[in-house]
Structure 1
Amino acid sequence: MHAAGLVLHPRRDSAAAVAAVLGWAAGRGIEILGIADELERLDCLAVGVSPAELGSRADLLVSLGGDGTMLRAMRLADGQRAPVLGVNLGKLGFLAEVDVPDLPRALSAIDGHEFTVEPRLAVDARLGERTVTAFNDVAVVRVPGDGSAIVAVRVNGQQFVSYAADAVVVATPTGSTAYSFSAGGPITSPSVEALLVTPAAPHSAYSRGVVLSVHDVVALEVLPSSGRLAVEVDGQVAGYVGPGETIELKARPGAARVVRLGMTTFYQRARRKLRLTDSAEIPPG
């Protein structure tokens, strides 16, 4: 490893984690990079660069924060060689691999090539003349006072299902534990290549979600009776669409890679962090 890049949470105190990375790198001749605007609030020796440079120059991206920071790091790593190590500074941290005390040991393992990577699927959404990328989900969401989301899902040019709902969520397997999960969608292993379409609070005749192939071209068509809808990309509003407009979606497998050190499996993390229980389990006693 020649260079590692830091991606910082915009508000949480990351000073201890940054110091751990710099201390580990000091005796190894490894350059530590960070986005210049983010480093301004820290007194540290990391080299400030632009977001584009961070993605292209780093051999590893280290995300210091929660899942939102991890998603941003994955977007910076999109199409680059650097995998992303998630360091949890939050509460849930579903995508993170290590906590701050374990960070030096994790970096040494990565430097010694003692790790694996999970390819993560992205979904590109065409909004007018621009394309936006999500690693969790793209959702069309009702705007309060503007009526329901009444949306047809088209697959490879053919209408498949229609929903009347508060929102329609198109999620990657990574995003299956986020908005889609809260709307009743299935938990899906990140090793599965698929898109999950889940209605939130549906009130239409058909109210089940669907699972689509990554080879399908998917479009969300806003029907004439729909209200104006916000388009949320990984939880951030990217624009608005109205009746008669269509959002085209295309899955892109392997867009980014996440570091795994073999500490836990996806299913262990899901059970612990989502506090899953089985209704058939008998309490000990």
Structure 2
Amino acid sequence: MGLIEAVGLVLHPARHRPDVIGTIATWARARDIEVLGTPAEVAGYDRPITALPPAQLARRSNLLVSLGGDGTMLRALRLGCEHRIPVLGVNLGRLGFLAEIDVPELDEALCAIDEDRFTVETRSGLRISTADREVVAFNDIALVRVPGHGMALVEVQVERHPFVSYAADAVVVATPTGSTAYSFSAGGPIISPGVEGLLVTPVAPHSVFNRALFLSHREELALRVLPTSSELGVEVDGQLVAHRSAGTVLDITVEPAAARVVRLGRTTYYQRVQRKLHLTGSAAETT
């Protein structure tokens, strides 16, 4: 008897891969493991998959398998967050920062996990409260200007005291995981996922101070929409979840070890970043 009794699938909505689902179903049948999925995502597959609502799928699963890219992986991390379910990321298409394996390695990887030959890498999250719910982000939370309206004028408060104000297209608060996403595209640094903290990066800043900040996870962070700012959108991992008007204060807290990512020891974080960003050599080697 292995570690896994039920494996939950999180699928990319636009990538229909019956060959990959078949690999998982065959592996599961040989080990008497139940395969679970949400009704909308597994409806197109003629395989023995138990369809469950997301909350039930998370409660029943011992392992989540993300089939897609980083966006699918982020959904899987959010799904598994409450019950701290380990997530295995499988690349379908473009290489991502979070996925651990490619499709040809899937059967071997599932066997290794069921036989307890793997490690877990924890990832921190960011929590905010919107009008009707609390939301956890694993990449970033951003206050963004609404197209056609004025700039984002945002005051950064640290430990309940104003520290600096930005005038920008957006202000991004990222986890170390998210340091290679929106923040990186705005010129922010790459942060090791082994660090707990918050990275604050302005996007296209028009203020005198235009640098990123990195704060300890123990320091209280809040973003205040300044009185002269236009209404701003609140994006969580790239998804618009709310709008906030002038005077609003958003408290953002770190959730240490909010997610668990399966690692099989085949690549390091920095090797994955090298591959994704095509960092093949130093400047000296290219001159």
TM-score range relative to shorter protein: over 0.9
What is the TM-score with the length of structure 2 in the denominator? 0.96
Q: Letter of the aligned partner of 2:174 in structure 1? A: A
1:100 to 79, 99, 103: 103
Q: Could you tell me how far apart the structure 2 residues matched to 1:10 and 1:54 are?
A: 17
1:210 to 213, 217, 220: 213
Q: Letter of the aligned partner of 1:251 in structure 2? A: V
Q: Letter of the aligned partner of 2:81 in structure 1? A: D
16-25 or 67-76: bigger deviation? 16-25
1:233-260 per-position Cα deviation (integer Å, ceiling 9, x unaligned): 0000001111111111000011110000
In structure 2, what is the equivalent of residue 73 of structure 1? 76
Aligned pairs for 1:1-285 within 5 A: 1-276=4-279, 280-283=283-286
1:34-89 per-position Cα deviation (integer Å, ceiling 9, x unaligned): 11221112222111111011111111000011101000000010021420000011
Structure 2 gaps, min length 5: none
Q: Letter of the aligned partner of 1:183 in structure 2? A: A
Contact 1:5-1:34 within 8 A present in 2 as well: yes
1:152-192 per-position Cα deviation (integer Å, ceiling 9, x unaligned): 01112111111001100000011011001001111111111
272-281 or 50-59: bigger deviation? 272-281
What is the TM-score with the length of structure 1 in the denominator? 0.96
Q: Could you tell me how far apart the structure 2 residues matched to 1:194 and 1:49 are?
A: 35
Q: Could you tell me how far apart the structure 2 residues matched to 1:272 and 1:43 are?
A: 35
Deviation at 1:276, TM superposition (A): 2.5
Deviation at 1:14, TM superposition (A): 2.6
Q: Letter of the aligned partner of 1:188 in structure 2? A: I
Identity %: 57
Q: Letter of the aligned partner of 2:86 in structure 1? A: P
Pairwise CA RMSD: 1.3
Cα distance change of structure 1 residues 81 and 122 upon mapping to structure 2, 3 Å threshold: closer
Cα distance change of structure 1 residues 58 and 125 upon mapping to structure 2, 3 Å threshold: same
Give the total of aligned pairs: 284
1:73-106 per-position Cα deviation (integer Å, ceiling 9, x unaligned): 0001002142000001131321111111110000
Contact 1:8-1:14 within 8 A present in 2 as well: no
Runs (4 or more) in structure 1 with deviation over 4 Å come to none
Structure 1 gaps, min length 5: none
225-234 or 275-284: bigger deviation? 275-284
